[in-house]
């Protein structure tokens, strides 16, 4: 399942791939302002460890908005240790109903190595089909590439990296400078 921003802003590509007991989230490093590349080495994939419970998150969209959401997610995870789905649903509810949060323009892919979700500002917590989720400007390209590779012999990290390379060749808002985080379930 891929989600693209609908408000006219562009930024990045994030992919999550689950295969063989592992989940990999990979993201490119490009930061764009309109048609200009501002930075090529941003880290848009992060590991959170509230209370010793590891969660990997990738974000697309406004960086400040995404950091606000990551802080909120971390607080939800601290309140519901080991319950990624519940924390994600609570974040999505707040995001949809809070007048301040409603203005945030970002999306998240989150995983604890077992569960994999896309969280949107529309109040969605979506579990992807085929163990693949992609967001951002190049999300559909990365998703299509990963879907083509998922039944082959490659592991989750190889699939994610190959899919991101294909997205970077097609999407002008995506580069090949990757941050990759792997987590086991």
Catalytic residue positions, numbered: 12
Please give the average per-residue pLDDT across 2-23, as a whole number.
Answer: 73
* pLDDT tens per residue across span 63-90: 888 888 899 999 999 999 899 999 999 9
- Look over the chain and give the mean of its residue pLDDT values, rounded to a whole number: 90
For residue 66, the surrounding DSSP H or E stretch is helix 63-79
Please give the average per-residue pLDDT across 95-124, as a whole number.
Answer: 87
**CB-count exposure of residue 151 (10 Å: 0-12, 13-18, 19+):** exposed
Q: Which domains, ranges and CATH numbers included, belong to the chain?
A: 2-184 (3.60.20.10)
How far from 146 is each of 8, 17, 73, 141, CA to CA, in Å?
Answer: 25, 8, 27, 9
Place 62 in a pLDDT band, splitting at 50, 70 and 90.
confident
**pLDDT value at residue 8:** 40
SS3 at position 71: helix
**pLDDT value at residue 157:** 98
**Residue 113 pLDDT > 90, yes or no?**
yes
**Residue 161 pLDDT > 90, yes or no?**
yes
Please give the average per-residue pLDDT across 28-45, as a whole number.
Answer: 90
**Residue 51 pLDDT > 80, yes or no?**
no
């Amino acid at each position: 399942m891929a989600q693209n921003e609908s408000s006219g802003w562009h930024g990045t590509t994030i992919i999550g791939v689950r295969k063989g007991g592992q989940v990999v989230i990979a993201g490119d490093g490009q930061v764009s302002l309109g048609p200009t590349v501002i930075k090529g080495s941003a880290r848009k994939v992060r590991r959170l460890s509230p209370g010793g419970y590891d969660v990997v998150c990738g974000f697309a969209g406004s960086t400040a908005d995404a950091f606000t959401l990551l802080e909120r997610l971390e607080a939800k995870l601290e309140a519901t240790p080991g319950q990624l789905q519940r924390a994600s649903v609570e974040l999505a509810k707040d995001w949809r109903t809070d007048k301040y949060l409603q203005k945030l323009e970002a999306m998240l892919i989150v995983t604890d190595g077992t569960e994999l979700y896309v969280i949107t500002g529309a109040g969605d917590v979506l579990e992807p089909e085929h163990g693949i989720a992609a967001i951002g400007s190049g999300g559909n390209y990365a998703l299509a590439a990963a879907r083509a590779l998922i039944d082959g012999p490659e592991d989750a990290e190889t699939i994610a990296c190959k899919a991101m390379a294909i997205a970077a060749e097609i999407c002008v808002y995506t580069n090949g400078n990757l941050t990759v985080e792997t987590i086991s379930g």
